Amino acid sequence: MLRRKHRRSRELVKFLELLGLRGTMGGVRNGLRFQAASGAARGRVMGAFFFAGFGTFALIYDVQPLLAEFPQEFGVSPATASLALSLTTLALSVSMLVMGRVSERVDRRRLMSGAIVVAGVVSVVSAFAPAWECFLILRALVGVALGGLPAVALAYLADNVPHGRLAAAVGLYVSGTAFGGMSGRLIGGVVAGELGWRYTVWIIGVLCMVAGVVFFVALPKRERRRVGVVEEGEMALRGLLGRFVAQWKDSVLRRLFVVGGVLMGCFVANFNYLCFLLRGEAFGFSQGGVSLVFLMYFAGVVVSPSCGWLVGRFGRKTVLRGAFLLIATGALLGVAGAGGGTGALWFLIGGSILVTIGFFAGHATAGAWVNRQTDSGKAIASAQYLTVYYIGASLLGWAGGWAWQWWGWIGVAMLVGTGALAGVCLVPREDAASGGGRG
């Protein structure tokens, strides 16, 4: 029984690494030694990480259902409005690289809790932003601050939770992030519909601050660290530039990095401007009603665990190309929903569900492929994948705004569909992945 628990723990951590969730925390699963703690202490740690994940991702994504409000409030274009989310995620991806290094030499409990509290404070301040430029700067600072949690969380859990309880601890943290991302979108839309968008970012900012304080109090004052983490960090630093270059020279990794960016870009563009469409005259949804479209994300969450079986049966290339074809099909269905009316709404819902399933399946497959393609420097490869992933979200999310301005929803659907078909062509040959690892 104990062996099975340990095996499940290792498999879960490996799965999270394959998805790129470990950021720059290299070697979490190698040579770990854990200290047993009381059941009450373990419960506090696990609960603390659940609420930390919830607060962090609610704060990142609370603005997505609000994007249609910003052009009216600040007089900006839809493309510019999308930067409220894009700048946050882009700043987060860069911050994770830095915070991962900083965490090797500072108190991780203080770093993580401080990141959450500071991000909450910045969000509260952003609720009073007098100008659009000021609001964007504050949203970028939210991303910078929040990088201190995901860059450190899994490493902290691996070092401080007994091996047999690691699967449950990491599972609770990831559940908190997923639940937070979903709740941030839903709460953001509902509160904005009743009180306005400024109350949304203020309330979620306060909740994030409370989560940061609770997180700090719940974690034990003393922590354990894996032996050798600083030395490994110094070695990684010396070879960092060489590994970055070597991985971009690998044609398979290079294509997979770009594939991740296209996947996330198509996904973000679809849902960013679906909000604009549903709020417009064709459908006339309320702000709270628009937020309900994010319940579609459950479809991707349900499908993702089956990706491993699909890859084993059909191969990575086939599954990844199939994911892009699902996105393209969803975009095509979306075109039929551009005119408004009940029938058109069902086309929109069906198309967006296909886009969601395609994104989750493609992201899981591409992230796993990146990990398998690298023999060493897996953390750097994951970091590069996530960086391009968020860059793609920023660029295609911004480009979708111009498509919306010029051609409406049909233009957005064409952009998403074209991006998905380009993604099909970018998928590397599966036989090339056996060459094993690059830097």
In a domain? residue 31: no
CA 223/CA 48 separation, integer angstroms: 15
The pLDDT value recorded for residue 171 is 55
Among all chains, which residue has been given the structure tokens 């991962």?
100
287 and 203 housed in the same domain:
no
Identity of residue 29? R
Q: Which domain holds residue 356?
A: 239-439
42 and 185 housed in the same domain:
yes
Query: Higher-confidence residue: 1 or 51?
Result: 51
The pLDDT value recorded for residue 237 is 52
Q: Is 284 left (phi over 0), alpha (psi -120 to 50) or beta?
A: left
CA 224/CA 35 separation, integer angstroms: 8
Query: Higher-confidence residue: 52 or 128?
Result: 128
In a domain? residue 273: yes
Least confident of 187-201, 212-226, 264-278, 343-357: 212-226
317 and 218 housed in the same domain:
no
56 and 85 housed in the same domain:
yes
The pLDDT value recorded for residue 70 is 92
CA 378/CA 247 separation, integer angstroms: 10
Average pLDDT over residues 69-91: 89
- CA dihedral sign of residues 300, 303, 309, 310: negative
Q: Residue 234 above 70 pLDDT?
A: no
Least confident of 52-56, 101-105, 116-120, 183-187: 101-105
**Does residue 70 contact residue 81 with C-beta atoms inside 8 Å?**
yes
Average pLDDT over residues 185-201: 87
268 and 375 housed in the same domain:
yes
Last residue of a domain, one of 189, 216, 237: 237
358 and 316 housed in the same domain:
yes
The pLDDT value recorded for residue 161 is 67
The pLDDT value recorded for residue 169 is 62
220 and 245 housed in the same domain:
no
223 and 251 housed in the same domain:
no
Last residue of a domain, one of 237, 270, 291: 237
171 and 304 housed in the same domain:
no
217 and 254 housed in the same domain:
no
Looking at the chain, the whole-number percentage of residues with pLDDT higher than 70 is 74
Q: Residue 13 above 60 pLDDT?
A: no
In a domain? residue 30: no
The pLDDT value recorded for residue 389 is 84
Last residue of a domain, one of 177, 202, 237: 237
pLDDT tens digits, 135-164: 999 999 999 998 877 767 766 776 676 666
HEC secondary structure over the chain: CHHHHHHHHHHHHHHHHHCCCCCCCCCCCCCCCCCCCCHHHHHHHHHHHHHHHHHHHHHHHCCHHHCCCHHHHHCCCHHHHCHHHHHHHHHHHHHHHHHHHHCCCCCHHHHHHHHHHHHHHHHHHHCCCCCHHHHHHHHHHHHHHHCCCCCCHHHHHHHHCCHHHHHHHHHHHHHHHHHHHHHHHHHHHHHHHHHCHHHHHHHHHHHHHHHHHHHHHHCCCCCCCCCCHHHHHHHHHHCHHHHHHHHHHCHHHHHHHHHHHHHHHHHHHHHHHHHHHHHCCCCCCCHHHHHHHHHHHHHHHHHHHHHHHHHHHHCHHHHHHHHHHHHHHHHHHHHHCCCCCHHHHHHHHHHHHHHHHHHHHHHHHHHHHHHHHCCCCHHHHHHHHHHHHHHHHHHHHHHHHHHHHHHHHHHHHHHHHHHHHHHHHHCCCHHHHHHCCCC
Name the nearest CA neighbour of 103 among 146, 55, 155. Answer: 155
The pLDDT value recorded for residue 175 is 58
225 and 267 housed in the same domain:
no
**Does residue 229 contact residue 379 with C-beta atoms inside 8 Å?**
no
Least confident of 91-100, 328-337, 409-418: 91-100
The pLDDT value recorded for residue 26 is 37
Least confident of 55-64, 146-155, 288-297: 146-155
Question: Which structure tokens are listed for 333?
Answer: 């269905």
The pLDDT value recorded for residue 35 is 38
Q: Residue 174 above 80 pLDDT?
A: no
Query: Higher-confidence residue: 77 or 31?
Result: 77
pLDDT tens digits, 302-326: 776 677 788 888 888 999 999 999 9
In a domain? residue 298: yes
Average pLDDT over residues 263-279: 91
| Count of domains forming the chain | 2
Average pLDDT over residues 218-236: 55
pLDDT tens digits, 418-434: 999 999 999 998 655 44
The pLDDT value recorded for residue 22 is 40
**Does residue 330 contact residue 355 with C-beta atoms inside 8 Å?**
yes
The pLDDT value recorded for residue 126 is 96
pLDDT tens digits, 15-47: 444 443 443 333 333 333 333 344 556 667 777
Burial 367-404, CB ≥16 within 10 A → b, else e: bbbbbbbbeebbbbbbbbbbbbbbbbbbbbbbbbbbbb
In a domain? residue 32: no
In a domain? residue 60: yes
Confidence bin at 111 (pLDDT 50/70/90): confident
Among all chains, which residue has been given the structure tokens 């994911």?
323
CATH of the domain at 300: 1.20.1250.20
318 and 393 housed in the same domain:
yes
The pLDDT value recorded for residue 3 is 53
Confidence bin at 176 (pLDDT 50/70/90): low
Q: Residue 12 above 60 pLDDT?
A: no
State how far the alpha carbon of 424 is from the alpha carbons of 184, 256, 333, 369, in Å: 32, 11, 18, 15
Among all chains, which residue has been given the structure tokens 């990095």?
257
